[in-house]
Amino acid sequence: MFIDELVVGKHLIVSYYYSVNLRLTLTLAKLLKGRGEEVCILNEHKIKWNLAPFTVEFNCSESSINLVFEAESELEVPKNYLFVTSSRKLNLPGAKTFHIKKISEVAFLAYSEEARFSFKIGKDTIEEFEQGEDLIKILKDLGGEATLRDLVNISSKKLNLPKEKVREEVSFLINTGKISMAKNFIRLNSPD
């Protein structure tokens, strides 16, 4: 799960989406507080609390775990940080960097060179999001590749979905890198 990944080691989230940055920061703070950790949110003045789904008590001290919200430069990041959100690609040695890409109104993809996580913003949580898994199963049954037309027709019948909805799921799977399309031909990408 994406949030569990963020608890282990230093991470930089490069995202232009304020709501994603806010939700990730607060969800991570809530998780750490639930584990009995002391949490500090730096740049707290940038948080629009009226948009926050919940509040988190935090206390900044030398022993607290530092989460940096909406950092604009490396100067805003202390050496002992765990998590940073920024709209810029900051130079933070030792940090695993995830970029955020919007894949639907509420669904996002966090990707790095090593990993990909799709998630959606829930009412007050970050939820794993595995849209299109049925479509991938059908594509596997077809040998890992098919024409777009065949995949849409077969999936529409098997899943009892309108063809337009199947096309949307195909688009989602292409955007998340799970499948690729070349000249109306769909191929299942090998998991790296």
Q: What is the pLDDT of residues 6-31, one digit of tens each?
A: 999 999 999 999 999 999 999 999 99
| CA separation for the pair 134, 150 (Å, rounded) | 15
CB 186 within 8 A of CB 148: yes
Task: Tell me the two tokens of residue 139.
Answer: 């594509």
- How does pLDDT run across 117-143, given as a tens digit for each residue? 888 887 777 888 776 778 888 999 999
| CA separation for the pair 160, 179 (Å, rounded) | 21
Query: What residues contact residue 71 under an 8 Å CB cut-off, 6+ apart?
Result: 42, 43, 77, 84, 85, 86, 88, 90
Domain residue limits at 116:
2-128
In eight-state DSSP terms, residue 143 is: T
Q: How many domains does the chain have?
A: 2
What is the average pLDDT across 155-168? 86
Domain of 82, CATH number, reads 3.40.50.300
Quote the pLDDT of residue 190.
77
Q: Do 36 and 72 have their domain in common?
A: yes
